[in-house]
Structure 1
Amino acid sequence: MDLQLAGKTAVVTGGSKGIGLAVVRLLLAEGMNVVSGSRTLTAELKETQAVAVIGDLSTPDGPRRLVGAAVDKFGGVDVLINNVGMGDHPEFVEGAVQSLADLPDSEWERTFNLHFYSALWATRAALPSLVQRGGVIVNVSSTAARDASTGPGNYSVAKAALNALTRVIALQYGPQGVRAITVSPGPVSTGTLTDPDGFIGQLAKRQGITHTELVEQMSATFAIPTQRISTPEEVAQLIAFAASPNNINGVDYLIDGGLVKAV
Structure 2
Amino acid sequence: MDLQLSGRVAIVTGASKGIGLAIAQTLVDEGVHVVAASRTAPDAKVTHVAVDLMDPDAPAQVVARAVEEFGGVDILVNNAGGPPPGTTLPRFGFMTPDDADWRAMFEFNLFAAVRMIRAAVPHMLERGGSSIVNVSSTMAKQPGAMNVDYGAAKAAVLAVGKSLSEEYGPQGIRVNTVSPGAVLTDWWTKDGGAAEVMAGVTGSDKDSVIAEVAPAMMKLTTGRLVHPQEIADAVALLVSPRSGSTTGAEFVIDGGQLKEI
Same fold (TM over 0.5): yes
Distance in 2, matches of 1:152 and 1:19, equals 20
Query: 1:156: which partner in 2?
Result: 151
CA contact (8 A) 1:12 1:36 kept: yes
Distance in 2, matches of 1:150 and 1:230, equals 23
The answer to whether residue 123 in structure 2 is matched with residue 125 in structure 1 is no
Residue 61 to residue 206, structure 1, CA distance change in 2 (3 Å): farther
Residue 257 to residue 9, structure 1, CA distance change in 2 (3 Å): same
Residue 207 to residue 107, structure 1, CA distance change in 2 (3 Å): farther
Gapped runs of 5+ residues in structure 2? none
Distance in 2, matches of 1:240 and 1:79, equals 10
Q: CA deviation at 1:205?
A: 4.6
CA contact (8 A) 1:20 1:83 kept: yes
Query: 2:20: which partner in 1?
Result: 20
CA contact (8 A) 1:58 1:113 kept: yes
Distance in 2, matches of 1:228 and 1:209, equals 17
Q: CA deviation at 1:100?
A: 2.3
Taking structure 2 as the reference length, what is the TM-score of the superposition? 0.92
Q: CA deviation at 1:213?
A: 4.7
Q: Which moved more, 1:150-159 or 1:191-200?
A: 191-200
Return the match for 1:248 from 227, 246, 249.
246
Distance in 2, matches of 1:151 and 1:103, equals 10
Gapped runs of 5+ residues in structure 1? none
Deviation string 1:39-75 (CA, Å, 9 cap, x unpaired) is: 122xxx24x2100111111221111111111111111
Q: CA deviation at 1:85?
A: 2.1
Query: 1:61: which partner in 2?
Result: 57
Large movers: runs of 4+ above 6 Å: none
Distance in 2, matches of 1:26 and 1:226, equals 24
Give secondary structure in 2 for the equivalent of 1:96. coil
CA contact (8 A) 2:24 2:34 kept: yes
Query: 2:101: which partner in 1?
Result: 107
Query: 1:51: which partner in 2?
Result: 47
Query: 2:193: which partner in 1?
Result: 198
Query: 2:228: which partner in 1?
Result: 232
Give secondary structure in 1 for the equivalent of 2:233. helix
Query: 2:9: which partner in 1?
Result: 9
Distance in 1, matches of 2:59 and 2:145, equals 28
Structure number having the greater helix percentage: 1
Q: CA deviation at 1:112?
A: 0.4
Taking structure 1 as the reference length, what is the TM-score of the superposition? 0.91
Deviation string 1:165-206 (CA, Å, 9 cap, x unpaired) is: 100110111111111000011111111122333333245457
Q: CA deviation at 1:156?
A: 0.4
Residue 11 to residue 100, structure 1, CA distance change in 2 (3 Å): same
How many residues align? The count is 257
RMSD: 1.9
